[in-house]
Protein backbone atom coordinates (compact mmCIF):
# COMPACT_ATOMS: atom_id res chain seq x y z
CA UNK A 1 0.00 0.00 0.00
CA UNK A 2 1.21 3.50 -0.83
CA UNK A 3 0.03 6.83 0.53
CA UNK A 4 0.00 9.35 -2.32
CA UNK A 5 0.50 13.00 -1.46
CA UNK A 6 -1.74 15.78 -2.75
CA UNK A 7 -1.11 16.17 -6.45
CA UNK A 8 0.25 19.60 -7.29
CA UNK A 9 1.83 20.65 -10.58
CA UNK A 10 5.35 19.70 -9.50
CA UNK A 11 4.25 16.22 -8.36
CA UNK A 12 2.41 15.55 -11.61
CA UNK A 13 5.26 16.87 -13.76
CA UNK A 14 7.83 14.59 -12.10
CA UNK A 15 5.44 11.62 -12.15
CA UNK A 16 4.74 12.06 -15.85
CA UNK A 17 8.44 12.43 -16.58
CA UNK A 18 9.27 9.15 -14.83
CA UNK A 19 6.34 7.30 -16.41
CA UNK A 20 7.23 8.58 -19.88
CA UNK A 21 10.73 7.13 -19.48
CA UNK A 22 9.25 3.78 -18.42
CA UNK A 23 7.02 3.71 -21.52
CA UNK A 24 9.93 3.90 -23.94
CA UNK A 25 10.89 0.67 -25.72
CA UNK A 26 14.11 -0.99 -24.67
CA UNK A 27 17.13 0.77 -26.14
CA UNK A 28 20.65 -0.32 -25.23
CA UNK A 29 21.92 3.15 -26.15
CA UNK A 30 19.52 4.76 -23.64
CA UNK A 31 19.16 2.29 -20.74
CA UNK A 32 16.75 3.11 -17.90
CA UNK A 33 18.16 2.34 -14.44
CA UNK A 34 16.23 2.69 -11.18
CA UNK A 35 18.20 3.20 -7.95
CA UNK A 36 17.31 3.29 -4.26
CA UNK A 37 18.85 2.27 -0.95
CA UNK A 38 17.80 0.35 2.14
CA UNK A 39 19.20 0.44 5.69
CA UNK A 40 19.95 -2.99 7.18
CA UNK A 41 20.18 -3.72 10.91
CA UNK A 42 22.87 -6.28 11.69
CA UNK A 43 22.23 -8.99 14.29
CA UNK A 44 24.38 -11.83 15.60
CA UNK A 45 23.26 -15.03 17.30
CA UNK A 46 24.45 -15.33 20.91
CA UNK A 47 23.97 -19.10 20.95
CA UNK A 48 24.53 -21.56 18.11
CA UNK A 49 21.43 -22.48 16.13
CA UNK A 50 20.35 -26.13 15.97
CA UNK A 51 20.16 -27.37 12.40
CA UNK A 52 17.18 -29.33 11.15
CA UNK A 53 17.30 -33.11 11.31
CA UNK A 54 14.79 -35.88 10.57
CA UNK A 55 11.72 -35.34 12.71
CA UNK A 56 12.86 -31.97 14.06
CA UNK A 57 12.80 -28.47 12.64
CA UNK A 58 15.76 -26.10 12.84
CA UNK A 59 15.84 -24.06 16.03
CA UNK A 60 17.17 -20.60 16.77
CA UNK A 61 17.48 -18.90 20.13
CA UNK A 62 15.40 -15.74 20.59
CA UNK A 63 18.32 -13.84 22.09
CA UNK A 64 20.58 -11.91 19.75
CA UNK A 65 23.13 -9.09 19.73
CA UNK A 66 22.67 -5.89 17.76
CA UNK A 67 25.76 -5.22 15.67
CA UNK A 68 25.03 -1.82 14.23
CA UNK A 69 23.67 -0.99 10.82
CA UNK A 70 24.71 -1.13 7.18
CA UNK A 71 23.15 -0.10 3.90
CA UNK A 72 22.32 -1.69 0.56
CA UNK A 73 22.06 0.20 -2.73
CA UNK A 74 19.77 -1.63 -5.16
CA UNK A 75 19.75 -0.70 -8.84
CA UNK A 76 17.87 -2.43 -11.63
CA UNK A 77 17.43 -2.08 -15.37
CA UNK A 78 13.87 -3.44 -15.47
CA UNK A 79 13.50 -4.08 -19.20
CA UNK A 80 16.86 -5.85 -19.52
CA UNK A 81 16.77 -7.79 -16.26
CA UNK A 82 20.12 -6.42 -15.08
CA UNK A 83 20.60 -6.06 -11.34
CA UNK A 84 23.22 -4.26 -9.22
CA UNK A 85 23.37 -4.79 -5.46
CA UNK A 86 25.96 -2.99 -3.31
CA UNK A 87 26.23 -3.53 0.45
CA UNK A 88 27.95 -0.52 2.03
CA UNK A 89 28.83 0.57 5.58
CA UNK A 90 26.51 3.57 5.35
CA UNK A 91 24.37 5.72 3.08
CA UNK A 92 26.83 8.50 2.38
CA UNK A 93 27.67 10.60 -0.63
CA UNK A 94 30.96 8.72 -0.90
CA UNK A 95 29.20 5.35 -1.19
CA UNK A 96 26.63 6.73 -3.65
CA UNK A 97 29.44 8.08 -5.82
CA UNK A 98 31.09 4.64 -5.93
CA UNK A 99 27.79 3.07 -6.98
CA UNK A 100 27.15 5.71 -9.67
CA UNK A 101 30.68 5.23 -11.03
CA UNK A 102 30.20 1.45 -11.19
CA UNK A 103 26.91 1.83 -13.07
CA UNK A 104 28.51 4.27 -15.52
CA UNK A 105 31.34 1.78 -16.18
CA UNK A 106 28.82 -1.01 -16.85
CA UNK A 107 27.14 1.09 -19.56
CA UNK A 108 30.12 2.63 -21.32
CA UNK A 109 28.69 2.16 -24.86
CA UNK A 110 25.43 3.97 -23.98
CA UNK A 111 24.79 7.50 -25.25
CA UNK A 112 23.14 8.40 -21.95
CA UNK A 113 21.96 6.48 -18.89
CA UNK A 114 18.50 7.42 -17.67
CA UNK A 115 18.72 7.21 -13.88
CA UNK A 116 15.50 7.23 -11.82
CA UNK A 117 15.91 8.03 -8.13
CA UNK A 118 14.57 10.24 -5.37
CA UNK A 119 15.91 13.67 -4.53
CA UNK A 120 18.05 12.63 -1.54
CA UNK A 121 20.86 15.09 -0.93
CA UNK A 122 23.57 12.49 -1.66
CA UNK A 123 22.09 11.80 -5.11
CA UNK A 124 24.04 14.68 -6.60
CA UNK A 125 26.88 15.77 -8.81
CA UNK A 126 28.76 16.95 -5.70
CA UNK A 127 29.04 13.39 -4.39
CA UNK A 128 30.96 12.40 -7.51
CA UNK A 129 33.16 15.49 -7.68
CA UNK A 130 34.06 15.07 -3.98
CA UNK A 131 35.24 11.52 -4.69
CA UNK A 132 36.66 11.79 -8.19
CA UNK A 133 37.63 15.43 -8.49
CA UNK A 134 35.92 18.14 -10.48
CA UNK A 135 36.85 17.11 -14.03
CA UNK A 136 36.37 13.34 -13.78
CA UNK A 137 33.39 13.60 -11.41
CA UNK A 138 31.57 15.92 -13.80
CA UNK A 139 32.43 13.65 -16.71
CA UNK A 140 30.86 10.64 -14.97
CA UNK A 141 27.81 12.58 -13.76
CA UNK A 142 27.17 13.87 -17.28
CA UNK A 143 26.82 10.26 -18.46
CA UNK A 144 23.44 10.28 -16.69
CA UNK A 145 20.10 11.87 -17.48
CA UNK A 146 18.47 12.21 -14.05
CA UNK A 147 14.76 11.65 -13.43
CA UNK A 148 13.70 12.47 -9.87
CA UNK A 149 10.57 10.94 -8.41
CA UNK A 150 8.30 13.51 -6.72
CA UNK A 151 8.40 14.06 -2.98
CA UNK A 152 6.37 11.26 -1.34
CA UNK A 153 6.45 9.50 -4.71
CA UNK A 154 8.91 6.68 -4.00
CA UNK A 155 6.28 4.20 -5.23
CA UNK A 156 7.12 5.41 -8.76
CA UNK A 157 10.66 4.07 -8.46
CA UNK A 158 10.93 0.46 -9.66
CA UNK A 159 13.96 0.07 -7.39
CA UNK A 160 11.41 -0.11 -4.55
CA UNK A 161 10.21 -3.38 -6.08
CA UNK A 162 13.82 -4.55 -6.33
CA UNK A 163 14.38 -3.74 -2.65
CA UNK A 164 11.23 -5.66 -1.71
CA UNK A 165 12.43 -8.74 -3.58
CA UNK A 166 15.91 -8.45 -2.07
CA UNK A 167 14.46 -8.11 1.43
CA UNK A 168 12.31 -11.22 1.06
CA UNK A 169 14.68 -13.47 -0.86
CA UNK A 170 18.10 -12.47 0.48
CA UNK A 171 17.56 -11.03 3.96
CA UNK A 172 14.40 -12.86 4.97
CA UNK A 173 14.22 -13.54 8.70
CA UNK A 174 17.88 -14.49 8.99
CA UNK A 175 20.36 -12.75 11.23
CA UNK A 176 23.29 -11.19 9.41
CA UNK A 177 26.04 -10.22 11.86
CA UNK A 178 28.41 -8.02 9.85
CA UNK A 179 29.04 -6.17 6.62
CA UNK A 180 31.30 -8.91 5.24
CA UNK A 181 28.48 -11.46 5.47
CA UNK A 182 25.95 -8.99 4.06
CA UNK A 183 28.20 -8.34 1.07
CA UNK A 184 28.66 -12.05 0.45
CA UNK A 185 24.93 -12.75 0.61
CA UNK A 186 24.05 -9.71 -1.53
CA UNK A 187 26.55 -10.75 -4.21
CA UNK A 188 25.16 -14.28 -4.30
CA UNK A 189 21.59 -13.00 -4.65
CA UNK A 190 22.67 -10.53 -7.32
CA UNK A 191 24.39 -13.24 -9.36
CA UNK A 192 21.25 -15.37 -9.32
CA UNK A 193 19.00 -12.48 -10.37
CA UNK A 194 21.32 -11.67 -13.29
CA UNK A 195 21.68 -15.31 -14.26
CA UNK A 196 17.90 -15.64 -14.44
CA UNK A 197 17.47 -12.21 -16.09
CA UNK A 198 14.57 -11.34 -13.79
CA UNK A 199 12.53 -8.53 -15.36
CA UNK A 200 10.03 -6.15 -13.74
CA UNK A 201 6.75 -5.94 -15.66
CA UNK A 202 5.70 -2.36 -14.89
CA UNK A 203 2.18 -1.60 -16.14
CA UNK A 204 1.30 1.77 -14.60
CA UNK A 205 1.63 4.36 -17.39
CA UNK A 206 0.65 8.00 -17.91
CA UNK A 207 -2.84 7.16 -19.14
CA UNK A 208 -3.43 5.03 -16.05
CA UNK A 209 -2.16 7.88 -13.85
CA UNK A 210 -4.55 10.36 -15.45
CA UNK A 211 -7.48 8.01 -14.97
CA UNK A 212 -6.48 7.13 -11.41
CA UNK A 213 -5.87 10.68 -10.18
CA UNK A 214 -8.41 12.48 -12.34
CA UNK A 215 -6.26 15.11 -14.03
CA UNK A 216 -6.12 15.97 -17.71
CA UNK A 217 -3.14 15.77 -19.97
CA UNK A 218 -1.22 19.02 -20.31
CA UNK A 219 2.32 20.21 -20.79
CA UNK A 220 4.50 20.06 -17.71
CA UNK A 221 8.03 21.30 -17.29
CA UNK A 222 10.55 19.33 -15.30
CA UNK A 223 11.89 21.26 -12.33
Per-residue pLDDT tens over the stretch 52-106:
678 777 666 666 688 999 999 999 999 999 999 999 999 999 999 999 999 999 9
Q: What Å distances lie between residue 141 and 77, 124, 159, CA to CA?
A: 18, 8, 20
Q: Which helix (H) or strand (E) holds 24?
A: none
> 1: pLDDT confidence band, cut at 50, 70 and 90?
low
Write out pLDDT tens, residues 3-17: 676 789 999 999 999
Is the confidence at residue 25, as pLDDT, over 60? yes
DSSP run (H or E) holding 73: strand 64-77
46 pLDDT above the threshold of 90:
no
Is residue 223 predicted with pLDDT exceeding 50? no
Rounded to two decimals, the pTM is: 0.89
CATH architecture of the domain 9-44+64-210 equals 2-Layer Sandwich (3.30)
Amino acid sequence: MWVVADLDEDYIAKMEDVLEVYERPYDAQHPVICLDEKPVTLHADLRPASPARPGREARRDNEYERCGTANVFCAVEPKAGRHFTFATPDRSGLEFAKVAFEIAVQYMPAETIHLVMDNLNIHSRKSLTDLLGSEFGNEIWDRFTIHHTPTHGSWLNQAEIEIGIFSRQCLGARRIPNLKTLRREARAWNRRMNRDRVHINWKFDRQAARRKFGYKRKSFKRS
